[in-house]
């Protein structure tokens, strides 16, 4: 009963805060809720690297309004993300939210619907994140976009029997689902699906089980920040020497960890939306600027922060600085731009990002390990939503 009362009061506060005269302010407040400590700290660091670079390059004034960031740490705990987002909406009166990993984005999405505040998804790669509120717009990626493409590529390039190693949470389930559908349809066989806990993973026992099943290929989804440990254990267990190919969405050859992975990772083929080696002038400037500001290589996660800020800035230009939630989301729908990852747009029907997916192979280039792109699938939509139509 008490819980119901509290919830009703909170909902009333959310609605009241959204009804304020947002057009009258000179400042646009952007609340950024990310995992800056805890299990997925590496993700939060890359997002903030992208957000801060965008603001360094583009200044803090848009359409006559000053952009004020309010950055908060969700400690990689979804309940904390929800509480912080609620405080940001009710107390700080933020006009826009930037959300993080899938569980946090799921926790925040209903608040954006109640308060009619746009929620720019900077990390979550889970399809349904945009379906949980009409105010959610994705600047990140989906696991499905990448996993179907690598599934077909693997079947066409000699993989017949695969063991899946999947981090056990929503984006992992989607990577497995979409990969399995595409790979088996193209004639491949899935021998086993092994689910590894998200928190403090030890991949060794799973890699042993995978090896015992005698596959020719391992399909792996693990989140950013865990790739270094995974590849070390893959090599330590001798799976590379046993001739077992490693494939997956881009997370396993994360640009952040890649430089320290060693030669055991060379030749690994993945499908991803971003490589620090992407050949364009826009990306060259991005990598240089990012390294200079943040002291590390940008990875696929960082683009959600950088392009997320671009979406916010450009939407504000279109609304002439109005922070009305419906106007901002309307302005984001259909927006197109050249990102460091390549050309992107926001699907006006689903509010998902539509982007190129590149098939890449790890190579040593001028002494450093990179994902070198060799095939491009243009303007890829989220396949899970596409299948529902
Ligand atoms: C997610 O939150 O959906 C997520 C996070 C990290 C990844 C992939 C997906 O590497």
Tokens in use for 57? 């390059």
Which residue minimizes the CA distance to atom 9 of ligand 1? 125
Distance of CA 32 to the CA centre of its chain: 15
CA distance 380 to 250: 15
- Please report the atom of ligand 1 found closest to the CA of residue 126: 3
CA distance 340 to 5: 47
Cα Dmax for the chain: 66
Q: How many residues does the chain have?
A: 389
pLDDT (0 to 100) of residue 2: 43
Q: What is the DSSP string of 328-382?
A: HHHHHTT-EEEETTEEEEE-TTT--EEEEEEEEEEEEETTEEEEEEEEEEEEEPP
Distance of CA 376 to the CA centre of its chain: 19
CA distance 45 to 39: 12
User: What's the CA-to-centroid distance between 115 and ligand 1, angstroms?
Assistant: 26
Can you state the percent helix, strand and coil of the chain, rounding each to 5? 45, 25, 30
Using a 6 Å cutoff on CB, does residue 227 contact ligand 1? no
Which residue minimizes the CA distance to atom 10 of ligand 1? 223
pLDDT (0 to 100) of residue 388: 87
Determine the straight-line distance between the first and last CA of the chain, rounded to whole angstroms: 40
Which residue from 359, 356, 355, 358 is spatially nearest to 154, judged by alpha carbons? 359
Contacts of residue 259, defined as CB under 8 A and 6 or more positions apart, other chains included, come to 297, 368, 369
CA distance 345 to 333: 8
Using a 6 Å cutoff on CB, does residue 123 contact ligand 1? yes
Using a 6 Å cutoff on CB, does residue 102 contact ligand 1? yes
**Residue segments in the chain with a per-residue pLDDT below the cut of 70:** 1-24
CB atoms within 10 A of CB 364: 11
- Please report the atom of ligand 1 found closest to the CA of residue 125: 3
CA distances to 87, 152, 153, 325, 371 from 19, rounded to whole Å, are 16, 49, 50, 11, 47
Q: What pTM, to 2 d.p., does this model score?
A: 0.95
Using a 6 Å cutoff on CB, does residue 85 contact ligand 1? no
CA distances to 150, 160, 356, 363 from 153, rounded to whole Å, are 5, 12, 15, 18
User: What's the CA-to-centroid distance between 61 and ligand 1, angstroms?
Assistant: 31
Question: What is residue 123's three-state secondary structure?
Answer: coil
Using a 6 Å cutoff on CB, does residue 172 contact ligand 1? no
pLDDT (0 to 100) of residue 15: 63
pLDDT (0 to 100) of residue 1: 38
Q: What letters, b where the CB count within 10 A reaches 16 and e where it falls short, cover 134-164?
A: bbbbbbbbbbbbbbbbbbbbbbeeebeebbb
- Please report the atom of ligand 1 found closest to the CA of residue 124: 3
Q: Which of 171, 257, 304 to mutate to test the pocket of ligand 1 (most atoms within 8 A of CB)?
A: 171
């Amino acid at each position: 009963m008490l819980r119901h009362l509290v919830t009703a009061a909170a909902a009333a506060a959310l609605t009241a805060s959204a009804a304020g005269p947002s057009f009258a302010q000179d400042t646009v407040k952007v609340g950024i809720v990310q995992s800056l400590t805890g299990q997925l700290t590496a993700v939060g660091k890359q997002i903030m690297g992208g957000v801060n670079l965008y603001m360094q390059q583009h200044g803090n004034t848009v359409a006559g309004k000053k952009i004020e960031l309010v950055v908060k740490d969700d400690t990689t705990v979804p309940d904390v993300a929800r509480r912080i987002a609620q405080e940001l909406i009710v107390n700080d009166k933020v006009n826009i939210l930037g959300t993080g990993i899938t569980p946090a984005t799921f926790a925040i999405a209903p608040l954006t619907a109640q308060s009619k505040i746009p929620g720019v998804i900077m990390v979550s790669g889970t399809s349904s994140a945009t379906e949980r509120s009409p105010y959610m717009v994705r600047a990140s990626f989906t696991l499905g976009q990448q996993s179907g493409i690598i599934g077909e590529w693997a079947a066409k390039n000699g993989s017949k029997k695969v063991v899946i190693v999947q981090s056990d949470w929503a984006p992992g389930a989607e990577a497995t689902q979409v990969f399995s559908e595409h790979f088996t349809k193209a004639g491949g066989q899935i021998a086993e699906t092994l689910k590894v806990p998200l928190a403090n993973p030890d991949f060794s026992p799973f890699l042993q089980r995978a090896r015992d099943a005698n596959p020719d290929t391992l399909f792996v989804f693990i989140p950013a920040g865990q790739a270094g440990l995974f590849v070390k254990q893959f090599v330590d267990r001798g799976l590379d020497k046993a001739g077992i190919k490693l494939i997956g969405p881009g997370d396993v050859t994360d640009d952040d960890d890649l430089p320290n992975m060693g030669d055991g990772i060379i030749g690994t083929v993945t499908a991803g939306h971003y490589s620090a080696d992407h050949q364009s002038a826009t990306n060259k400037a991005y990598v240089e600027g990012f390294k200079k500001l943040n002291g590390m290589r940008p990875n696929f996660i960082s683009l959600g922060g950088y392009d997320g800020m671009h979406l916010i800035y450009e939407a504000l230009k279109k609304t002439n600085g109005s922070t009305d939630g419906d106007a901002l989301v309307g302005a984001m729908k259909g927006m197109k731009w050249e990102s460091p990852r390549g050309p992107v747009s926001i699907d006006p029907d689903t509010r998902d990002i539509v982007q190129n997916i590149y098939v890449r192979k790890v190579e040593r280039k001028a002494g450093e390990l990179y994902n070198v792109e060799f095939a491009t699938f243009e303007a890829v939509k989220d396949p899970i939503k596409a299948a529902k139509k």
